[in-house]
Amino acid sequence: MSSIKKIIVVGSGIAALSFAKTISENCQVIIMTKKQFSSSNSMLAQGGIAAAFSAHDSIQQHVEDTLAAGCDHNDERIVQEIVRLGKHLVEQLVAEGFPFDQHESGVPQLGKEGAHTTHRILHAGGDQTGKTLVQFLKSQLGSHIHLYENHHVIDLLIHEGTCKGVVWKDEKGHVHTMTADAVVLSTGGCGSLYETNTNDPSVTGDGLMMAYRAGAQLVDLEFVQFHPTLLTISGKAVGLVSEAVRGEGAYLEDETGRRIMKGIHPQADLAPRDVVARAIFHEQQLGHHLYLNIHDIPHFSARFPAIYAMCQRAGVDMASGRLPISPGMHFLMGGISVNEYGETTVPSLFAIGEAACTGLHGANRLASNSLLEGLVLGSKAAQRMKQLPKQKETSPAFSIEEVWSVPMLSRTEMSQWMTTYAAIVRDEKGLQTLLHTLQQVSFQQMNVKDITNEQVELSNQWALAVCLVKSALLRTESRGGHYRMDYPKRNDAFWRGKQIVHEKGHMHIMKNERIGAKWNVYS
Ligand code: SIN
């Protein structure tokens, strides 16, 4: 038996690439992605990487901002660790020549985004940090890393409770299996559950539901982040306008020029995202049209080249200095419950990036903390692999005759329902209606070899939507990205430190001593 460990990574964003960069050459790594290598949320990330680089900043201040944005639902030990290690990895990128945007003096330019108390966001290519980082990390990969595009992983191979590999479909729909010593899910969140979102269309919650079927825990699914500013033309979202634009002085106004964030929050236009998204939603309910006023930003086209090009393509009159915007689903704070190494509760199954829930983001993610988390967790998972023994060879059972239940509804229908009832503002009546509607859907039984890739995605989306809506119904309070009109306040007396867990077909409330507690209290 070869001593080389074989690891399958599903997904090709920053977390996957950070894992691949760090993993020992004694491992063989197969990165499988269901579309092209470039089909990931990371490629679309305009915002940058948050790291305490300024002389006026500190690790502790970055931690405090993360905890404040997360509404006391974070795991402070994880926050401390990711912020500290993340800064170290960013320094390493600088040393390796990563082209962060710099001042003429060679000092990195630091931008500001919502809920940060100081300038701490590093960017590359102005508003193309994710794409630049993906390309940079890809160029660093060794020959032990193999990239397989158009390999749609549809399920995990589980033998006696341990993950042993994956089931995947090729472009022609043929089913295959591949065994491995460990599987790392880096499949992103579930933006496509909502009509308007900033995600790559391939992000359909697959990793979460594969992990769930394998017995892993899903937590915090009710915490969904809506980005306040998507360029919106004739009611249709065209793409993201980074929060960094507000960091450079843009502000939100209505059709009359009234600044809507004044008096709502001390940080006004740079308040935490959940606060800004709700304020916009409220104004829209009153019939107002919302704009981002960019008049005060000099050299907009040079500072934000991709956003400028998108506005031009969409026919926005840039001379007006106003970009029409509305909010859209951006990020899932919850996900597959993992420890600080990305290990799930299923042996040999890891999750990293947005698919995972480490406790860093709490109930509302601080802007530009996700690339940071991807870098750190990818690297830590790779280091952890060294300690894992090579698995005994087994032939996990998988039948080509396996039958799946496929919901008979369209992706459009489901995303419209989710947007109507489980988006920025929720209440019991709407969530009950939604749950009932989802549960009324009929199913067809299909053999796994006949099921299309779209039907696999739809099955995952439907099952994830049901879990998310059940969590949103159960959490009878408002916190961060979960706002209940019928419970508009935080209820610390009951909910502080509690997580809603989905596991093996059941949902329960779990008290997690590390959530919302001061680290020095439990350390
Ligand atoms: C943005 O550029 O506004 C998005 C950054 C992020 O979500 O972290």
Q: What is the pLDDT of residues 119-177, one digit of tens each?
A: 999 999 988 999 999 999 999 999 999 999 999 999 999 999 999 999 999 999 999 99
The predicted pLDDT at position 523 comes to 43
Minimum CA distance residue for ligand 1 atom 4: 47
The response to whether residue 199 sits with its C-beta less than 6 Å from ligand 1 reads: no
Residue in 257, 276, 256 with CA at minimum distance from that of residue 266: 276
Taking every pair of Cα atoms in the chain, the longest distance, rounded to a whole number of angstroms, is 72
- Taking the C-alpha atoms of residue 93 and residue 422, their distance in angstroms, rounded to an integer, is 39
Q: How far is the CA of 330 from the centre of ligand 1 (A)?
A: 9
Cβ neighbours of 485 (radius 10 Å): 12
pLDDT of residue 1: 61
Q: Which atom from ligand 1 is nearest to the alpha carbon of 229?
A: 3
Cα separation, 46 vs 503, in Å, equals 34
Q: Catalytic: 273?
A: yes
Where in 283-427 does DSSP place strands (E)? 290-293, 322-332, 335-337, 349-351, 356-357, 403-407
Residue 515: predicted pLDDT: 96
Give the residue carrying structure tokens 């590093």: 122
What per-residue confidence (pLDDT) applies to 184? Answer: 98
- Determine the Cα–Cα distance for residues 406 and 414; give it in Å rounded to an integer: 14
What's the CA gap between 42 and 33, in Å, rounded? 13
Ligand 1 pocket test: pick from 330, 373, 375 the residue with the most ligand atoms within 8 Å of its Cβ.
330
Instruction: Answer whether 243 contacts ligand 1 (Cβ < 6 A).
Output: yes
- Cβ–ligand 1 contact at 18 (below 6 Å): no
Where do we find the tokens 């304020």? 279
What angle separates helix 76-95 from helix 59-69, to the nearest 10 degrees?
Answer: 130
238-282 confidence digits (pLDDT tens): 999 999 999 999 999 999 999 999 999 999 999 999 999 999 999
Question: 397, exposed or middle or buried, with CB in 10 Å at 0-12, 13-18, 19+?
Answer: exposed
Cβ–ligand 1 distance for 370 under 6 Å, the answer yes
Going by their DSSP bridges, the two strands 224-233 and 322-332 should be labelled as antiparallel
Catalytic residue among 246, 273, 426, 475: 273
What H or E segment, with its residue span, contains residue 254? Answer: strand 251-254
Spans of the chain, pLDDT less than 50: 522-523
